[in-house]
Structure 1
Amino acid sequence: MTVVFVHGVPETPTIWNDVRERIGQPSMALRLPGFGSPRPAGLRDKETYAAWLADELRAVDGPVDIVGHDWGGHLAMRVVSAYDVPVRSWVSDVAHGWHPDYQWHEAATLWQRSPEGEESLAGLRKSPTGGGYTFGDVLQPRGMSPQLAKEVDDIHDEEMSAAILALYRSAWPNFHAAWGRDFDRPVTARGLILTPAGDPGAQPARDRDMAARLRTQLTELDGLTHYWMLQDPERGADALRHFWASLPD
């Protein structure tokens, strides 16, 4: 069984390194196109990114366990509910975004508008002369490590900004509106919803509601932030191992 990790926005596969070292299973971490790699012209919205992920999973030998963070979690949920993929289980730490009453956070609503979104992301790109705020500056208080912050800032170019805008602008008003109905039918892959309760953006009540709706397990990570896998990778890996151990062979 191979574990496939998927990062979010604005991140890279490096975010999973510490957890991958601790899970004791073969694993790989995918890089979303446009985040330090070329983005094919066809990847223009959330659905085409989900189709890309489905193709990546089909290329892995045997059933996989997929773990998604942030946008990686949204794409993982879409794939297991709407695509024919060899997935045994899925994990997401953003299931509240699929709740019927979910409303996007302030940054997302800014990026969903034009030209405000373009102007905002241009302002977050690292200037050769210094000055201004970058993604790293904004996200380190939420738990992003200095090392990952530097990596993100180094790769944040116009292509990455365009990828971010494409994803967020295709996800209005929320994921339930476009994708939620596909979870109304049975999903064979078993699910785990993680709730990093120390994240200011956490919504434990909606996560619990989604766990009941989707008949999944739920684990609350008390005191951990949006970047739980960096803050306490051993605890994160333990939650994943416990979930996988509960699955039928």
Structure 2
Amino acid sequence: MDGPRGTALLLPGYTGSKDEFIPLLSYLLDAGYRAVAVDARGQDETVGSDDEETYQQEALAADVLAQAEALGAPVHLLGHSMGGHVARAAVLADPHPFLSLTLLSSGPAQVGEERQLQLKLLLGALDTMTMAQVWEAMQKLRPVNASPTEAERLRLRWLRTHPSHLRVVGRQLLSEPDRTAELALLTALPKHVLYGDQDDTWATGLLQDMATRLDARRTVLTGVGHSPNLQKPAETASALIDFWAHLPGA
């Protein structure tokens, strides 16, 4: 093989980062794909500003278009959770830099009722508490189930995240409109909806309906919640590779 079979651009979710795709990377590389995982501006190691306008969805989508161009578009685009909403906004702004779109555990509109309540509590806390204080409060309510080393890594990642990113994107997740009909009009763009059967951020019925409305390939992983990339990376990578490999012209 003279070069990679294709390039994939991977966008993380709301409180995540590029690191959450690490379990996928070796599988994609072994299959011949170049995969590039990025933070959104204000996430983890990517610098953000206090200007809330820089975190609006249109600005984040413009970043994705610039990243695709820098990678030598066209690329396969994947967005996890909130990253799926940003990915959708990017392809709706300009579908030409993309070979395909995968929505990984990413629903058609605002998050479900339980997640809405959690988001509202977080946004309220960010108005009166420091990021360190918010982290401590979250651990009391819902401790991280991880080794001490991993828990410390997650704490430091949280502290590096800009609170303005969390505020703006959190409000977006509470009000995200259903743009499925717009996305379905991009009939030349192959689409893939991939999620776990135990997703707790969007009802799985909504995810199934979205896939139908998009005429998209649908992959459901059993025994998996909101992060297939972390919970079953081999199966997630296999589904992605199979989708990309069977696209026209692959």
Instruction: Output the TM-score relative to the length of structure 2.
Output: 0.81
- Measure how far apart 1:133 and its partner are: 3.5
Partner of 2:48: 39
Once residues 59 and 102 of structure 1 are traced to their aligned partners in structure 2, the CA distance between those partners, rounded to angstroms, is 35
One-letter amino acid matched to 1:221:
L
Name structure 1 gaps, 5 residues minimum: none
One-letter amino acid matched to 1:93:
L
Partner of 1:162: 164
One-letter amino acid matched to 1:59:
A
- Measure how far apart 1:148 and its partner are: 5.4
Structure 1 stretch displaced more, 162-171 or 17-26:
162-171
- The answer (yes or no) to whether the contact 1:123–1:134 under 8 Å persists in 2 is no
- The answer (yes or no) to whether the contact 2:105–2:227 under 8 Å persists in 1 is no
Name structure 2 gaps, 5 residues minimum: 1-5
Pair 1:6–1:146, CA change in 2 (3 A): farther
Give aligned-pair identity as a percent.
Answer: 20
- What SS class does the counterpart of residue 110 from structure 1 fall into? helix
- What SS class does the counterpart of residue 98 from structure 1 fall into? coil
Once residues 73 and 146 of structure 1 are traced to their aligned partners in structure 2, the CA distance between those partners, rounded to angstroms, is 30
Could you give the per-residue CA deviations for residues 18-38 of structure 1, whole angstroms, max 9, x where no partner exists? 101102211111111111221
Structure 1 stretch displaced more, 150-159 or 48-57:
150-159
Task: Please tell me whether residue 198 in structure 1 is matched to residue 198 in structure 2.
Answer: yes
Once residues 9 and 146 of structure 1 are traced to their aligned partners in structure 2, the CA distance between those partners, rounded to angstroms, is 23
Once residues 202 and 247 of structure 2 are traced to their aligned partners in structure 1, the CA distance between those partners, rounded to angstroms, is 26
Task: Please tell me whether residue 18 in structure 1 is matched to residue 20 in structure 2.
Answer: no
- The answer (yes or no) to whether the contact 1:7–1:15 under 8 Å persists in 2 is yes
- Measure how far apart 1:60 and its partner are: 1.5
- What SS class does the counterpart of residue 75 from structure 1 fall into? helix
Task: Please tell me whether residue 232 in structure 1 is matched to residue 232 in structure 2.
Answer: yes
- The answer (yes or no) to whether the contact 1:7–1:31 under 8 Å persists in 2 is yes
> How many equivalent residue pairs?
237
Task: Please tell me whether residue 8 in structure 1 is matched to residue 29 in structure 2.
Answer: no
- The answer (yes or no) to whether the contact 1:102–1:174 under 8 Å persists in 2 is no
Once residues 43 and 150 of structure 2 are traced to their aligned partners in structure 1, the CA distance between those partners, rounded to angstroms, is 13
Partner of 2:216: 216
Pair 1:32–1:198, CA change in 2 (3 A): same
Partner of 2:3: none
- Measure how far apart 1:119 and its partner are: 4.0
Instruction: Output the TM-score relative to the length of structure 1.
Output: 0.81
Matches within 5 A, 1:146-157: 149-157=151-159
Partner of 1:109: 120
Pair 1:61–1:162, CA change in 2 (3 A): same
Once residues 234 and 13 of structure 2 are traced to their aligned partners in structure 1, the CA distance between those partners, rounded to angstroms, is 20
Once residues 246 and 133 of structure 2 are traced to their aligned partners in structure 1, the CA distance between those partners, rounded to angstroms, is 42
Once residues 198 and 147 of structure 2 are traced to their aligned partners in structure 1, the CA distance between those partners, rounded to angstroms, is 16
- The answer (yes or no) to whether the contact 1:18–1:229 under 8 Å persists in 2 is yes
- The answer (yes or no) to whether the contact 1:2–1:28 under 8 Å persists in 2 is yes
Pair 1:29–1:207, CA change in 2 (3 A): same
Once residues 121 and 184 of structure 1 are traced to their aligned partners in structure 2, the CA distance between those partners, rounded to angstroms, is 41
Once residues 42 and 247 of structure 2 are traced to their aligned partners in structure 1, the CA distance between those partners, rounded to angstroms, is 34
Could you give the per-residue CA deviations for residues 62-116 of structure 1, whole angstroms, max 9, x where no partner exists? 31011111111111122112324410011112342438x965532123345xx44
Structure 1 stretch displaced more, 16-25 or 79-88:
79-88
Could you give the per-residue CA deviations for residues 180-203 of structure 1, whole angstroms, max 9, x where no partner exists? 553253243211101211233342
- The answer (yes or no) to whether the contact 2:23–2:229 under 8 Å persists in 1 is yes
Could you give the per-residue CA deviations for residues 136-161 of structure 1, whole angstroms, max 9, x where no partner exists? x84745xx787654333103238522
- The answer (yes or no) to whether the contact 2:180–2:214 under 8 Å persists in 1 is no
- What SS class does the counterpart of residue 43 from structure 1 fall into? helix
